[in-house]
Structure formats: C-alpha cells, structure tokens
Amino acid sequence: MRRTQLAVAVTCLVAAMAYGGAVKAAALTAYVLPGVIGVAVVASLLAAYRMRVTALVVGGALVLGWSELVNVMSGQTDGPVARSSAVAAACTLLAVLAAQSRFPALFLAPVAGSVLGAMLLGAGSQVRSVAVATAFCAALTLGWIEQSRRHWKAPPRRGTASVLLPLLIVGVAVAIVLLQVQRDLRPPEALAAGLAYPGIAAPWPDPLGTFTTRFSAPPRVKNGPKPPNSNSKKPKPKPKPKPKPKPNTKSKAQSNIWLYVFAGILLFLLFLLLALAGRLLAVRLAWRRVRRRLAAGGPSEQVTGAWSWVRLRLDARRLPLAAAVSPDAVAAGRAAAGLPPELFMPLQELATTTTTAAFAGEQSVGADEAVVAWAAAGRADESARDLLTRRGRVRFAFRAPAQKVQAR
C-alpha cells in the first residue's frame, strides 16, 4: 500500500504544478509544493493506521496553519500564495484520504479540484501541459489502486493495460487541446482572482501551442467636433504605399500543430512497440529463471522439478491439471479422460519417472532419468502448444509465471 500512497502523492504534486501560472516560481517552490508534500506525508501515515478522522482533523489544522504562515511570510507581488497553498494542500489531503477509503476512485475529484483551483486563482491557459500530465498520472494511479484492491491489497502486477490506457487518455486530451488551440483564436482572459496579478506567468513554455492575440482598430467617433476651415480646399491625399503581403501565420501554425500531432502519434506507436517487446523479453526471461531453478539439485529434485514445470506451463496455457491429479494417477492412466492423447503420452512417461523419484529412494533415480524426464516435459509442452489457437499462442507469449513461483 505504500506504493499506492506514493502514487497518489506524486499525482497531487503534479497537479500542484498548475499553480505556477498563478504564483511566481520562487513562491511555488518555497510555499505551495512543501505544503502539498507535508500534508501528503502526514495524511498517508495516519491513514495507514486506519485513523482517517484523525488524519482529516490533523491535516486540516496543518493546512490552515501553513496557509496563515505563508500569508505572513510571502510577498505582496508573488501572487495569491496563501490561497494557492491552502487549496493545493486541502485537495491533497482529501485525495489521500479518498484513496484509502472504500471507493478509491473518489480521489480523482480532489485532484481535478486542485487544477481547477489553480485556474480560478489566475493560472488560466498557461498550464495546459500540467493538466494533461495530471490526467496521465491520475489514470495510472487509479489503475494501480483498483488492481491492488482487487487482489486483496497485494502488490499490483505491472500489466500493460495499466500503462496503455493512461497513454490513450493522454492522447485524447492532447488532441482536444490542440484542436482548441487551432480553432479558438480568442486571447485568454484571467478570472477575477487573477486580475490583480496580470504579470505572473508559468516559468515553463507550453509545448501544446500558444494563443494568438488579435487586436482591432479603435472605434470611430460619429458625432465628434468638425475640423476648422471645412470650406477650404482639401489637400490631395498622398498615394498610399501598397501594403506588403503578410505572411500566412495561421497556415504555418496549423501545419506545425499537425506536424506535432503526427510526431506524437509516431512516438506513441514507437513506445507501444517498445513496451510489447519489453514485455515479451521479460516473460521469456521469467520462464527461463523458473526453469533454471526447477532443474537444479539432485536427480530426484530435477525429476520433480520437470513435473512442476509441466504443470506451470499447462496452467499458463489454460490447460491446467486438476489439483487432485497426482503423478501416480497419471502414471496409472486414471487421468486420461480430460487430456488429448498426444498430450497424455509424454505426460504419462514423465509421471512414471516422477512417481519413482518421489516415493522411491534417492539412489533409484540417476542423471539419465532426469534427462529423460526433462525431455518428456519438453514433448508435453510442445504438444500443449500445438493444441492452442493462434490467439491463444499470442496470449501465452505475454503471460508470465505466477508471482509466487517467481518469488521462490
């Protein structure tokens, strides 16, 4: 559970970076982020001991005390530092407590509230990249927490779906932001809380595009004073120089945006291919480690290891043997009803050698019997592979041994 608490704290910390558009960078580093980290540590420690009410009271007092201290220590031109610290820390407290409750998905609401609070305090459109990064971290943390609770609070498995789904969410968010930047050319306007500090901007550039401000000509005055000597001859107007053609900045911006989108899609596909290749390599190495451990020891241990290896492989191929099926039952032919003949033949040969190694003396099994047992295990594994469909073989290629087996 410590890993999930750390993931929630990191998500809240990423969301707190949105206040870089509302306060100065020095105030963000000195006041807002330390408040978030301190509240996350205190709330996580108390929530780990089932003291959620105490964590709420102590964390609330810590938020109020820190915001008052920041109000005294911060400058007048750093932006709404005290309010930013209070909102970010309070949202972090609620997110940590919600992640430890019966409905851990509720932690998404305080995380979104932290980003919304930054916008209300003057961040505006300057932190689009922070909002997208927060969405990715929140989706990744949600998958991690839900999977941990589904496995009776065990350490979560690092599945590919828990990474690919947040990447898909980030792709959709980036596409929406780029479409809004391209179609909406209105200048960004700060809300009421940000009008008092118009010069504060985020200390990092926004990679998702910038708004273009369009200025309009001043309005004409209809009933203004007439110029003197209106009856005199008007001088001939000088010929106006021909205006130079303006570069089509809009088309260039659009082409650059679509270039970035295409580059992002290529990077996503490359990351996907690398993730699949890494998963295949990790699964193959895991099976190799398990086989090396089972093939170690004396001849009797090697023979029983070959039997355990076949059971693991059949279980991973979704062709498992029942728990009551022992090697002597297979050797006697009593478990042949649910197995194909091409699989039962090498399995029976292996079971015969395993029964001798398990119930006879140590000297009754030699190195030759161990080699024969592993050869029979290999033939049984190949027979089980031939029974699978193409889709089943692909799924088996990404299926690693059980965690309990790998830990031995």
Distance CA 30, CA 21 (A): 15
Residue 126 tokens, joined: 């300057």
Q: Do 160 and 292 sit in the same domain of this protein?
A: no
What pLDDT shows up at residue 91?
93
In a domain, 207, yes or no: no
Asked if residue 163 and residue 30 are part of one domain, the reply reads yes
* Residue 130 sits in the same domain as residue 9: yes
Tell me: do 34 and 165 sit in the same domain.
yes
- Residue 104: which residues within 8 A CB-CB, separation 6 or more? 98, 142, 145, 146, 149
**Is 60 a member of any domain?**
yes
Q: Do 6 and 110 belong to one domain? A: yes
The answer on 178 and 300 residing in a single domain is: no
Instruction: Tell me whether residue 261 is in a domain.
Output: no
Q: How many other CB atoms sit within 10 Å of the CB of residue 233?
A: 6
Q: Is residue 194 part of a domain?
A: no
Indicate whether 98 belongs to any domain.
Answer: yes
Last-in-domain residue among 138, 162, 183? 183
**Is there a single domain that holds both residue 12 and residue 153?**
yes
Q: Which residue has the tokens 């709404």?
A: 80
Same domain, 23 and 165: yes
Domain shared by 169 and 293, yes or no: no
Q: How many domains does the chain have?
A: 2
Q: Name, in order, each residue with C-beta under 8 angstroms of 144's C-beta and a sequence gap of 6 or more.
A: 3, 4, 7, 156, 162
Which tokens sit at 117?
A: 């609070």
pLDDT at 213: 43
Q: Are residues 157 and 293 in the same domain?
A: no
In a domain, residue 72? The reply is yes
Does residue 61 contact residue 87 with C-beta atoms inside 8 Å? Answer: no
167 and 297 share a domain? no
| DSSP state for residue 127 in the 8-state scheme | G
Q: What is the pLDDT along the chain (408 residues), one digit of tens a residue?
A: 577 888 888 999 998 888 887 888 888 888 899 999 999 998 888 887 778 888 888 888 989 988 888 888 887 778 888 888 999 999 999 999 988 888 888 888 999 898 888 888 877 666 777 888 888 888 888 877 766 555 434 444 555 555 666 666 667 766 666 666 666 666 555 555 555 666 677 766 666 655 444 444 445 545 555 555 545 555 556 666 666 555 555 455 555 666 766 777 787 788 778 888 888 888 889 899 988 888 888 888 888 888 888 888 888 888 777 666 777 777 777 766 567 777 778 888 888 877 777 666 555 667 788 888 888 888 888 888 888 888 888 888 888 887 555 544
Distance of CA 295 to the CA centre of its chain: 38
At 216 the pLDDT is: 45
Contact 57, 18 (CB under 8 A): no
Residue that terminates a domain, selected from 128, 163, 183: 183
Query: Is residue 88, in this structure, part of any structural domain at all?
Result: yes
Within a domain: 122: yes
Same structural domain, 296 and 397: yes
Q: Which residues span the domain enclosing 163?
A: 2-183
Domain boundary pick from 131, 163, 183: 183
